Structure formats: structure tokens, C-alpha cells
Amino acid sequence: MSGDIRIPSVGESVSSGLISQWHKNDGESVNVGELLLTLDTDKISTEITADCAGNLQILAVEGEEVSIGSVVGRITSENLSHLQSSDQKEATSDQLQGDNNDENHKEKNSVSSIEKQAPQENQRQTPVEIEAIEAHQVPAQNTKRDLRLDRKAPVSPVVNRLAKENGVDLSLIIGSGKRGAILKKDVQSFIDSGGELRSSKVVENPNTQSITSKDSEASVLPDLNVKPVSHHGSSGLKIEEGGRITRQPLSPIRRKIADHLVSAQRDAALLTTFNECDMSSVMRLRKELQEDFIAKYGVKIGFMSIFIKAVVDALKEVEQINARIDGTDLIRNHFFDIGVAVGSEKGLVVPVIRDCDNKSFAQIEKDISEYASRANQGKLEIADLQGGVFTISNGGIYGSMLSTPIINPPQSAILGMHNIIERPVAVEGKVVIRPMMYLALSYDHRIVDGKEAVTFLRRVKECVENPARLLVGA
């Protein structure tokens, strides 16, 4: 029995993905529901689990790009009853055959066998011959096998591929799997050691004495003719130029980000306008309400929910920002789904907070917290990233002072938040120290004029500097 591991469909626009990690080794047993591999696409990461129990056979290595629907592995379960039935049939056949032979024939075979094993009295035995005779007298089940020469042990396609890519002779490797099967980790260990034979098993070679090799100090077979390669794992990471540089393929997510940003700058007429925002009122409000807010809703009130509400207010005032170009048509949106740029280990993702005009500050903060957690775990879904009308990017959490963000097509604008810095500003003719933040609005000048962009950004500034108007909806 066997079950194919196929790459599932994760979205209409996704045709392939990259195997970022196998969580099980080749030949390892798995149970139903156990995590097998993580697939990275140009939008999200997907975890694939086992549909049946058995032994895992890996057909596609880590770092390999695979198409949707392709078979990347197989789970096989050994039919023990079938093997037992075969053994029983063979035993029965041998027994019937033995019954048909007469006792004289058996005795003759027995004597002949003893004569072959016993040395002639007038023949002098060498130590090697004596050792060979003693080995024949040991029961077969106690005889040590040369695992390197045991070709009954299966070799998976992924092991063959890895060995071929690195010019490794599999006959030089001791397998650590069942029945001496050579696993991917055995080949990789052989590669990383530059051709050293590492194993905790005892190996017997017909032409040499037994060798016990441990991980602490490996025995090296002579004349391997295998050159050490600078290849670490099957993820594509390579060390080149004597360790001066490393080379690794871009992940699908990073390639998509690159294509997306280049497309935005190529197809849109980008322009950025700036303003600065006094954060005194917002910081004072958060300080006064934080404890009660946490006690009531279980989350902190952050800057992002306030800025999202300010953006919604500004989008209602400047409707041209809440629009996009579709071919030769202008599409006006009448909903307020705001994307929030989140930096994760695998790249920048923009989950979308739905219907922000109808949600409270607490609901928005909970959505942001959940998306951030799922992004770090690689559990965002395609639907979480689709349909936004505007994006907010907070580079200030990384210490950014000022930047010109790039819009997220097909949206027409993006707001960049930055670091809060205390600096001197003029207020009513006096120089005071205030916590200030620079705001940057990048927009598509094809449909948004400068007047509209400046008006929009000024409205956001006014809402943040006077957050009470957001609470009362003024």
C-alpha cells in the first residue's frame, strides 16, 4: 500500500512552490496528521501533513521548485501479512521437498557438508583460511553484513539525485536506515565531511579487517577520488570563492516581492509627499487608557489602529485615493479594507484588515496581533492577502527616520510611518520639544493629483494629532 504526497492547490494564481523544509527524513515512519513538509509559494507558506501512516519516501529535495499537483513523496506501508504468507509458503514448500527425500540422501548431504567444512588431516591451513572456515560454521543469522554491498536495501530517488549532483559513489556510504538503506542525511554527511565515512555501525569487508567507525573520528577509505564540495544541505546554499561569498536561490516569496516592486515602479507614475506629525496627544491618550483597555479587551492599544482609523477618515474625504486603474477604466472602491505591511522571517507580507470603518480600535488591534502571529508561523492564507484598497507600512519599528514607500499594485497609494523622535519644533511662537514622526505618502500620479495627495496626508495628520475626533467620529 502507498499514498502519494501531492502539492495541493493554494490559490488560483499560484502554479508552483518551493519545498523549504522536510520535517521528516527519508525512510522515517510517519503517522496520520504528522507534519511532513513546508511549501513556500510567492504569497504564503503552506504546511502539508500525512494522510496515511507508513514509511516516507522523499522524491523532491529541499530547495526544489515543484508545480501544483506534482508528487513530491510517497508514504508506503509494508504489507506484513503478505510477507508472512510468502515466508510460510516457502517454508511449506521446503518441508514437502524434504519429506520426499529419503533419509540416505539427507545423510549423504550432511556428510558432504561436513567434509567441505573440515580440513584434511594432511593439509596445512593458513590463518586466513581458518578464519574463513570458522565464519562458515557461524549460523547465518549471526553473520555480519557488509552494508555497503547490500543492494537489497532500497535507495530513494532523492538520494540518487543528491548523490549524482555531487558526484558521490553510493557504494562508499554506509546506510543508517532500515536494512542498511542509505538516507539523504547519510549522503549529506558524506558530502559535508569531504568523503569521510561516518557511521556508528560495525562494517566487515571481505578483504580487510573489521572497521568500527564513530561520529567522533571517522575512518577514511583510500582512493575515494571524491573531492570535497562546498555545498551545505539541499536548500541550494553554496559557499564559493573559498568562503568569501555564499550563493542561495531566492525564495518564491522574495522573487514575488521583487517582481511586484519593480512592476509598481515601472507601471505607475510614483510620487511621494511628506508631512510631520506631533505624537504628543496620541502618546498621552495611550498612557491614560492603556490599563483599562487591556483589562477590557485583552490587547494593547497601539499606534497602528489609530493610523488605520485616520486613514479611513481621510479616504472618505479624498475618494480619489480609494481608487485604482484597470486597463483604461477607473475603479472606485466603496469599502475600506486596509493592508498592514508585516515583516516576517520569509519576507514582507501585507495581510488585509477587513471593513475597518465598521471595526473598533480593539477589533483592529486583535486582527493585527493575530496576523502578525500567523505571519511569523507561516500560516497566512491567500485570502488574508487579497483585496486591500490602501496599505500602511510602519518602518519606524525598525528605526527608520524617513523613506519613500512603494505602492502595492493595484492600489493607488501607501502611507509610510517612521520613527518617533523628540526634537525642537515651533508651537505658538515658542520652541518646544515634542515627539515627532515624519509621514510619507507615495501615490500613483496617473490618477491622484498633488492637491489630493497633500489634502489626504494633512487629514491623516490632523486625526492623529487630535485623536478625540476619531473616537467621536468627527
Does 344 share its domain with 461? yes
Does 221 share its domain with 266? no
Residue 388 lies in a domain: yes
Domain hosting 365: range is: 253-472
Residue 233 lies in a domain: yes
Does 231 share its domain with 347? no
At 456 the pLDDT is: 97
Q: pLDDT by residue (tens digit) across 31-90?
A: 888 888 888 776 677 888 888 888 898 988 887 778 888 888 888 875 434 444 444 445
Residue 105 lies in a domain: no
> 247, 271, 292 — which closes off a domain?
247
Residue 121 lies in a domain: no
- CATH number of the domain encompassing residue 205: 4.10.320.10
Does 231 share its domain with 257? no
Phi, psi dihedral angles at 3 (to 5 degrees): -130, 130
Residue 132 lies in a domain: no
At 2 the pLDDT is: 66
Q: How far apart are CA 289 and CA 296, in angstroms?
A: 11
Residue 57 belongs to what H/E stretch? strand 54-58
> 76, 92, 107 — which closes off a domain?
76
> 210, 230, 247 — which closes off a domain?
247
Say if residue 396's pLDDT is above 50.
Answer: yes
Question: Are 60 and 234 in contact, with CB atoms under 8 Å apart?
Answer: no
Residue 405 lies in a domain: yes
* pTM confidence score: 0.58
Does 70 share its domain with 193? no
Catalytic-residue membership of 445: yes
The DSSP symbol for 116 reads H
Residue 75 CB contacts under 8 Å (≥ 6 apart), including other chains: 2, 3, 5, 30, 50, 51, 52, 53, 54, 55, 56, 57
Catalytic-residue membership of 334: no
Of 23, 231, 260, 445, the catalytic one is 445
Does 455 share its domain with 368? yes
Of 87, 94, 146, 449, the catalytic one is 449
Q: pLDDT by residue (tens digit) across 241-265?
A: 888 898 887 776 777 778 878 888 8
Neighbours of 361 (CB within 10 A): 21
Does 62 share its domain with 46? yes
Q: Which residues pair with 35 in a beta bridge?
A: 49
Query: Long-range contacts for 138-144 (Cβ within 8 Å, ≥24 apart)?
Result: 144/202, 144/203, 144/204, 144/210
Q: What is the mean pLDDT of the chain?
A: 76
Q: How far apart are CA 52 and CA 4, in angstroms?
A: 10
- CATH number of the domain encompassing residue 310: 3.30.559.10
Does 242 share its domain with 258? no
Neighbours of 253 (CB within 10 A): 23
Does 194 share its domain with 259? no
Q: How far apart are CA 333 and CA 357, in angstroms?
A: 13
Residue 152 lies in a domain: yes
Does 421 share its domain with 437? yes
Q: pLDDT by residue (tens digit) across 138-182?
A: 444 444 344 444 444 567 777 777 887 777 777 777 777 766 678
Does 303 share its domain with 381? yes
212/107: higher pLDDT:
107
- CATH number of the domain encompassing residue 21: 2.40.50.100
Does 225 share its domain with 269? no
Whether the CA torsion 338, 343, 348, 349 is positive or negative: it is: negative
At 84 the pLDDT is: 43
Domains identified in the chain, total number: 3
Question: Are 323 and 412 in contact, with CB atoms under 8 Å apart?
Answer: yes
At 436 the pLDDT is: 97
Q: How far apart are CA 295 and CA 21, in angstroms?
A: 40
Residue 332 lies in a domain: yes
